[in-house]
Structure 1
């Protein structure tokens, strides 16, 4: 009888232990992380390493701005151990599906970051702001050493940008959409955008003429566009202003082809830096 009681108590203890740890990891001992889009997923993968399995809700090559969730994606969000969202109204459907549980991390709010008054969500294009997001993800995953290593890489990237953009003939960038306010502020640039915060925003003829006038007045040599949308408007402005077009990536997501080639946030940020240096005449 005594042996049987001990075995029963041991069984209850093991069951309680399993239930208590389920919030931290839900399969194979790894924490199931669902991230709303690429920069959040990438930070979680790099910091979490083998301790996490990360799902990116935004498909490869898709825009995250107006992401619509399938019923399966909603279920994945609600069953995840950790949900990473930018917050403050970006991707409202994802925020609604996630709710407000302890496992939901609204990174703009919990990192002490605020979106610019124009609503620009692209905080990750500033390595210093992205560092704050990375630290918050690292704290949630209890990975201090990996977080420190990731932050060191971001600090090195910031130094490269500061040096690379310190001495340029021009400091104004003309872009296809208004995604580079944080990068521009950090490195003392100014941004003029053809369209608003989403690539689908419509530019009026007056908008186009204004940007063309700015490009002519500032003697811009380059109009920047992004890979995931048509360069038609950027090409129009460039042609009228006697400039060329070049890619400046907002790094909202990667196509499958670029993923297969091993490209990532850091490689794309360095491509952006090279494009900026050429376009702005930096030396």
Structure 2
């Protein structure tokens, strides 16, 4: 993320003005139906906005700081955004290094007014993977990969798949990547690895459920008068996420393939949860692109492993995925990492649940 000194000075000046009350002198705040003032919640990522709105109901105004259609990897808040954040009662972010600008934003907040919630704190996070590689997250074969998934959750809601004792992996792909070290044995690629942890936890419904519980607790602590309502709304959201989890597990259990190719290494948590293998063209940052030799290897991999779809996302360019699909003679499709909504999706009333169900159907086709 590139920041100029001028932009940073502008932000700092705006925050100082906000601290003096000049920029945030508010009129009467919005009221709930019971006559109480709504609390203000800002989020940094669409899935967190979705969860916060579901839990808060009528008792809070929830806004996502990243506008629809903007790639969140590239987002930098404006000075106005930074000023707006100082008015928050609750500031909810993903953590795990995803929002590089958050540290500066948090420094300008009045901690007596704004409760800051890092929703991945304490969760079991995966290391970020470089692109042009195979993320072997499955440790079961056949039916056990999905049907037995409930027995392997840890306290955060993440799943811990047992590794095969004989060192083999489902679908016979042990030659590609060592599950413990993350090293490749068959292909030597130049990786554009961003290091750190993989932030895309929300693509595992049980992980988003854990994030949502943190939001519920923070709302209940901040607004004790409506704690019961927040608890009930959370339980309804949790039930929806549990059903989504079951639907994914059932689909994978009935699918003959366990490997899928995507343009962006965003689906490691989903792959781990359901015993799948993600083959990613680029790394955590979708702007990374493979070299010509890596492109050739990816095309060969598609052919050798009988992959029928190359899947790309909504907020990044599909050109590399389309080239690989064309060279390999296979179809393309969309698998949405849900980092943000497009303007079209927002206007159509799409949300986390409906898009994840679309993802489920796309994977059903890709895994045939």
2:200 is matched with 122
Greater RCO (Cα-Cα under 8 Å, separation 6 or more): 2
Work out the CA distance in 1 between the residues paired with 2:259 and 2:243.
24
Task: After superposing the two structures, state which structure 1 stretch, 149-158 or 115-124, moved more.
Answer: 115-124
Note if contact 1:87-1:95 (Cα within 8 Å) is conserved in structure 2: no
Cα deviation, residue 66, structure 1: 2.3
Work out the CA distance in 2 between the residues paired with 1:114 and 1:94.
19
2:123 is matched with 112
1:252 is matched with 339
1:39 is matched with 47
Cα deviation, residue 27, structure 1: 4.9
Work out the CA distance in 2 between the residues paired with 1:74 and 1:207.
41
1:141 is matched with 219
Cα deviation, residue 26, structure 1: 6.2
For residue 70 of structure 2, the aligned residue among 49, 56, 62 is 62
> Structure 2 unaligned runs (5+)?
1-27, 32-36, 130-196, 221-229
Cα deviation, residue 185, structure 1: 0.6
1:268 is matched with 355
Aligned to 1:152, the other structure's residue is in SS state helix
Note if contact 1:135-1:147 (Cα within 8 Å) is conserved in structure 2: yes
1:183 is matched with 270
For residue 279 of structure 2, the aligned residue among 185, 192, 203 is 192
**Superposed, which structure 2 residues align to 1:142-157 within 5 Å?**
142=220, 143-157=230-244
**Superposed, which structure 2 residues align to 1:19-30 within 5 Å?**
27-28=30-31, 29-30=37-38
Cα deviation, residue 117, structure 1: 4.3
Cα deviation, residue 224, structure 1: 0.3
Cα deviation, residue 152, structure 1: 0.4
Task: After superposing the two structures, state which structure 1 stretch, 138-147 or 200-209, moved more.
Answer: 200-209
Check if 1:98 corresponds to 2:176.
no
Check if 1:49 corresponds to 2:49.
no
2:297 is matched with 210
How high is the TM-score relative to the length of structure 1? 0.86
Aligned to 1:84, the other structure's residue is in SS state strand
Note if contact 1:33-1:81 (Cα within 8 Å) is conserved in structure 2: yes
Check if 1:73 corresponds to 2:81.
yes
Work out the CA distance in 2 between the residues paired with 1:95 and 1:51.
28
Work out the CA distance in 1 between the residues paired with 2:96 and 2:317.
28
Task: After superposing the two structures, state which structure 1 stretch, 183-192 or 95-104, moved more.
Answer: 95-104
Note if contact 2:93-2:119 (Cα within 8 Å) is conserved in structure 1: yes
Check if 1:132 corresponds to 2:215.
no
Work out the CA distance in 2 between the residues paired with 1:173 and 1:35.
31
> Structure 1 unaligned runs (5+)?
1-24
2:261 is matched with 174
1:88 is matched with 96
Note if contact 2:93-2:117 (Cα within 8 Å) is conserved in structure 1: yes
Structure showing the higher helix proportion among its residues: 1
Aligned to 1:199, the other structure's residue is in SS state coil
| Alpha-carbon spacing, 1:27–1:103, altered in 2? closer, same or farther (3 Å) | farther
Deviation by residue 1:69-117 (Cα, 9 ceiling, x = unmatched): 10111011222100011113211112321238461111111x5342434
Aligned to 1:246, the other structure's residue is in SS state strand
Work out the CA distance in 1 between the residues paired with 2:339 and 2:91.
18
Deviation by residue 1:216-236 (Cα, 9 ceiling, x = unmatched): 111101000012222211111
Aligned to 1:108, the other structure's residue is in SS state coil
